[in-house]
Chain A
């Protein structure tokens, strides 16, 4: 079974719309990482969250980690075609442990 559940699996939005992707674990996480991937390419690091309640933003993307450190959300404001791709969350269960990844969310942004 997957340790990290991502939802939705796919998302199609109109350019300019806001959207949210979720990543949920049944267990407390040590660290949560968000990555973006273009099809057939490597993963690009977006943000890392470690503290309960932490929130980080970069340009139009905001990521939050809940107080219990079991759920994270990635929010994109005023989406653009350049935001299209696969978004993956990765998590470490303890300090120094290897990352496990969710199945990814395929985002399509229509002009």
Chain B
């Protein structure tokens, strides 16, 4: 079955530590996205990539980093510079302009 896999589903980290969230897709989509979801704020775009080895900042990129070395993979690193990292993180992919995005099941990150 084709789809997007995010792992792990739950992640706990101590403040000051970097943490990497995994996102893998087997849909052969060119574009991949990372969103952050907080209660009452909808989805906010962190980073996106429309092609391998290229990515752009979204609306809230500060404190995050990404890489796109393979078409299938788009990992997100939450660095210690992110002031409020506890949130639900969603990865998505799309195969062309204006087509609907496909979403993974999310990773809930808790930093204490």
Residues in B with CB closer than 8 Å to A33 are 100-101
Min CB gap A69→B, angstroms: 14
Indicate if B103 sits at the interface (CB-CB under 8 A). yes
| Of A14-22, A37-45, A58-66, A70-78, the one touching chain B | A37-45
* Number of chain B residues whose Cβ lies closer than 8 Å to a Cβ of chain A: 24
> Cβ of B43 and Cβ of A40 under 8 Å apart?
no
Please pick, from A30, A43, A50, A95, the residue contacting B90 in the complex, using a CB distance under 8 A: A43
Please pick, from A41, A48, A100, the residue contacting B100 in the complex, using a CB distance under 8 A: A48
Indicate if A111 sits at the interface (CB-CB under 8 A). no
> Cβ of B90 and Cβ of A42 under 8 Å apart?
yes
Indicate if B40 sits at the interface (CB-CB under 8 A). yes
Indicate if B29 sits at the interface (CB-CB under 8 A). no
Please pick, from B4, B33, B108, the residue contacting A40 in the complex, using a CB distance under 8 A: B108
Residues in A with CB closer than 8 Å to B33 are 98
> Cβ of B98 and Cβ of A42 under 8 Å apart?
no
> Cβ of B42 and Cβ of A104 under 8 Å apart?
yes
> Cβ of B90 and Cβ of A96 under 8 Å apart?
no
The interface size bin for chain A is 20 to 34
CA distance A98 to B55 in the complex (A): 13
**Interface CB pairs A-B, < 8 A, 21:** A4-B42, A31-B98, A33-B100, A40-B106, A41-B105, A42-B4, A42-B6, A42-B104, A42-B106, A43-B90, A43-B103, A44-B103, A45-B102, A48-B100, A88-B42, A88-B43, A90-B43, A92-B98, A95-B98, A101-B35, A101-B42
Q: Which 3 A-B pairs have the closest CB atoms?
A: A42-B103, A96-B97, A103-B42
Given contacts A43-B90, A43-B92, 13 further A-B contacts (CB under 8 A): A2-B42, A4-B42, A33-B101, A35-B103, A41-B105, A42-B6, A42-B103, A42-B105, A44-B103, A45-B101, A99-B101, A100-B45, A103-B42
